[in-house]
């Protein structure tokens, strides 16, 4: 029988045994490990009973909010009936029903749903599918991938290779070869790239999209299999697509017979007010990768969704996609996903985001009167606030200043003030916000109030 544990014992165990993700463990030599024990709606609570506003939905995940008992009940009911069975040549009702439902939400003929346990696995699956598809259709040299600078696509070896963050990749090199980077859609910093055109978002978007065509030509169209793009790029601080950008990318992919992969691990399931962000921006992918919001985080689940065209070669003879995951499409996770999507439809979460996203933006834009705030960008319930030394010149912080500003002050100060969010310097320094989709004006106001106080104090320390 497990004995009850006090906070002191658990802190000691955390420091002695728990290897946390993306964590500088030396930080906890002199500080306790923040321990979150409960969630309710848009709030989380630590082991001392202190309440925090969850301004990041866990990790862009908890769309329906914390404490949804019906999702827990769906998991318990399924576990009692069928706790586990793999999808390796077999099916179970939950996987069948969810695949049909997800395919119905997806745009166009994205009708084939391959389940994983998370987003990185979905990206890994998409690259493997792209390579094998071209081998089966007589174009075996098409294997390379193009993605954008600073973009994050996951931590598995293949997904990390596609990622455009050199510092994140360096400790694990050599990685999978054959990936190449093009400029992202950071319009705020467009004057600092090789773009020399007018200060016009459409023109900049066309230029950025055309760099994809240029990269395909440089590498050779007969060697490039896919382009991986997030609808709104996460790393660097929420770069939305300029008008016409994805329309041009689709034209380029069609011209060179390259697959367009929409990496919607963050952007799908309501984050931008639609089940899939490709619908918001009006483009048709060949593959969508997704995870996170599919279950609102109540159980791990991801998916790669492919068109009928990509599945067709695998429907013949002895061909098969020799790829899978033990827990991909887990019965408990699919049951939770079905219940979560019921909430989406019953409570009209997508509609709520679309109705209130303007209020969220307007509230955040109040912060532009602070000298440290350079740019506020994003869509839906997904925003980045870029921090600068000089608003007029857009001068950014150097590495040492970022270290002092973000890790030395902001991360701790925001949490202490009652706001859980992300202070990030993968690119220029930003604060990222992505609250649960049930947020309202009171939540937006609380976020703005806390940010105003903490950013004012941060500027005073510079």
Residue 59 lies in a domain: yes
Residues 407 and 444 in one domain: yes
pLDDT in tens, 316-355: 999 999 999 999 999 999 999 999 999 999 999 999 999 9
**Residues 253, 259, 264, 269, CA torsion sign:** positive
pLDDT tens-place string over residues 100-150? 999 999 999 999 999 999 999 999 999 999 999 999 999 999 999 999 999
- Looking at residue 3, its pLDDT comes to 67
Predicted local distance difference test score (pLDDT) of residue 1: 56
C-alpha span between 239 and 218 (Å, rounded): 26
Looking at residue 7, what is its pLDDT? 86
Instruction: Evaluate whether residue 259 is within a structural domain.
Output: yes
Q: Are residues 328 and 420 in the same domain?
A: no
Q: Determine the Cα–Cα distance for residues 350 and 64; give it in Å rounded to an integer.
A: 11
Return mean pLDDT, the chain: 96
93 shares a domain with 205: yes
Query: Residues 313, 192: one domain?
Result: yes
CA of residue 294 relative to chain centroid, distance: 12
pLDDT at 318: 96
What is the arithmetic mean of pLDDT over 225-251?
97
Answer yes or no: is 1 within a domain: no
Residue 424 is predicted with a pLDDT of: 87
Which residue, of 323, 347, 371, is where some domain finishes? 347
Average pLDDT value for residue range 277-306: 98
Smallest CA-to-CA distance from 87 within 308, 287, 324, 291 is with 324
pLDDT in tens, 365-417: 999 999 999 999 999 999 999 999 999 999 999 989 999 998 889 999 999 99
Do 419 and 293 have their domain in common? no
Q: What's the pLDDT at 41?
A: 98
Among candidate residues 304, 321, 347, the one where a domain is terminated? 347
In a domain, 5, yes or no: no
Please give the tally of structural domains in the chain: 2
Per the DSSP assignment, residues forming a β-bridge with 40 are 43
Report d(CA 159, CA 157) in Å as an integer.
Answer: 6
- Relative to beta strand 112-116, strand 144-148 is unpaired
Q: Which residue has the higher pLDDT, 3 or 45?
A: 45
The pLDDT confidence band at residue 425, using thresholds 50, 70 and 90, is: confident
Domain of residue 421, residue span: 34-67+352-461
Which of 313, 347, 381 is a domain's end point?
Answer: 347
pLDDT at position 65 is 98
* C-beta of residue 306 within 8 angstroms of C-beta of residue 287: yes
Please check whether residues 94 and 231 belong to one and the same domain: yes
Q: Would you state the pLDDT for residue 2? A: 66
Tell me if 9 is assigned to some domain: no
**The pLDDT value given to residue 378:** 98
In a shared domain, residues 211 and 93: yes
pLDDT band at 459 (very low <50, low <70, confident <90, very high): very high
Query: CATH code at 193?
Result: 3.40.640.10
Helices (H) and strands (E) in the chain, counts: 16, 15
2 belongs to a structural domain = no
């Amino acid at each position: 029988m497990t004995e009850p544990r006090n906070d002191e014992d658990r802190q000691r165990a955390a420091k002695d045994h728990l290897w946390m993700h993306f964590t500088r463990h030396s930080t906890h030599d002199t500080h306790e490990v923040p321990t979150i024990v409960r969630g309710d709606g848009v709030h989380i609570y630590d082991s001392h009973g202190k309440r925090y506003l969850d301004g990041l939905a866990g990790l862009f995940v908890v769309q329906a909010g914390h404490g949804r008992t019906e999702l827990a009940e769906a998991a318990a009911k399924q576990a009692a009936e069928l706790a586990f069975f793999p999808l390796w040549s077999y099916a179970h009702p939950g996987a069948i029903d969810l695949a049909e439902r997800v395919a119905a939400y997806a745009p166009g003929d994205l009708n084939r749903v391959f389940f994983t346990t998370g987003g990185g696995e979905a990206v890994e699956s998409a690259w493997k599918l792209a390579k094998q598809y071209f081998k089966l259709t007589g174009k075996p040299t098409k294997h390379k991938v193009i993605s954008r600078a600073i973009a994050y696509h996951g931590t598995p070896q293949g997904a990390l290779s596609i990622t455009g963050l050199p510092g994140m990749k360096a400790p694990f090199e050599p990685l999978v070869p054959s990936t190449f980077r093009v400029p992202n859609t950071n319009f705020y910093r467009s004057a600092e790239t090789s773009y020399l055109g007018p200060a016009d978002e459409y023109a900049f978007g066309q230029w950025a999209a055309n760099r994809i065509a240029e990269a395909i030509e440089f590498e050779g169209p007969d060697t490039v299999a896919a382009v991986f793009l997030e609808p709104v790029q996460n790393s660097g601080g929420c770069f939305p697509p300029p008008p016409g950008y994805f329309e041009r990318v689709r034209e380029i992919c069609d011209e060179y017979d390259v697959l367009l992969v929409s990496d919607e691990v963050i952007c799908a399931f309501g984050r931008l007010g639609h089940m899939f962000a490709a619908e918001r921006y009006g483009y048709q992918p060949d593959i969508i990768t997704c995870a996170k919001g599919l279950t609102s985080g109540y159980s791990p689940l991801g998916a790669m969704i492919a068109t009928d065209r990509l599945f067709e070669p695998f429907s013949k003879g002895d061909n098969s996609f020799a790829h899978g995951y033990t827990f991909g499409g887990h019965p408990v996770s699919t049951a939770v996903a079905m219940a979560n999507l019921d909430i989406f439809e019953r409570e009209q979460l997508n509609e709520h985001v679309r109705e209130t996203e303007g209020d969220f933006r307007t509230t955040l834009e109040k912060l532009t009167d602070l000298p440290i705030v350079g740019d506020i960008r994003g869509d839906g319930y997904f925003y980045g606030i870029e921090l600068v030394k000089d608003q007029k010149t857009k001068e950014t912080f150097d590495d040492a200043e970022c270290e002092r500003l973000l890790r030395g002050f902001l991360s701790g100060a925001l949490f202490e003030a009652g706001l859980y969010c992300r202070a990030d310097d993968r690119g220029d320094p930003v604060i990222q916000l992505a609250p649960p989709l049930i947020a309202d004006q009171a939540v937006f106001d609380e976020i703005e109030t806390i940010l105003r106080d903490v950013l004012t104090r941060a500027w005073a320390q510079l």
